[in-house]
Amino acid sequence: MYRQYTIPAALGLDEAQMRLMTPTLDTGAGPSIIRVDALRKGWERRLHPRPHLPHILDANKNHISARGMITLRLSSGGFATDVDFVVGKRLAVPVLLGTSFINRHVEALYPRRQRVRWSTDASVPILSCTARGKRERRRSPRDATVRLAQRRVLPRDPVRPC
């Protein structure tokens, strides 16, 4: 049975252009794929010239048309690497990290602990898990919860009356 794990990560063309995202580790997908609308403007200039792109089908056996290949920097939980993505138009999630990425960079998936351990021993929380297309009910991991440390009263905005 394949599973999809959503994790926090930053992606970008380089370190200076990183953007926070929630890519999905998909144990049933081969290549890593990124949707066109998840990329910043000007991404077309960074496409790799490829004479042959992989033939990709989604979970419903529909063809996903590929626009090309692009290399992006991924940083997550103290782990960073360059990842080759197929750029696709239609995809259920903005960023999908397939088994080619998982086999190379993931040391372990801990569904009970809700953690992914990278090959560098750094780890990151699993934000959500889907099995067979259905989201599993889980509580949030402790380190993914934001808590208010100190109460602040903000002054009223004179432009906007309350």
31: nearest Cα among 116, 96, 104 = 96
What is the reported pLDDT for 15?
A: 85
Q: Round to whole Å and give the CA distance between 13 and 150.
A: 36
Q: What 3-state class would DSSP assign to 143?
A: helix
**Per-residue model confidence as pLDDT tens digits over 27-48:** 888 899 999 999 988 888 888 8
- Band the pLDDT of 95: cuts 50, 70, 90: very high
What is the reported pLDDT for 51?
A: 65
pTM (whole model) above 0.85: no
Domains, the chain, with CATH or none: 3-139 (2.40.70.10)
Asked which of 3-12, 43-52, 81-90, 140-149 is least confident by mean pLDDT, the reply is 140-149
What is the reported pLDDT for 137?
A: 52
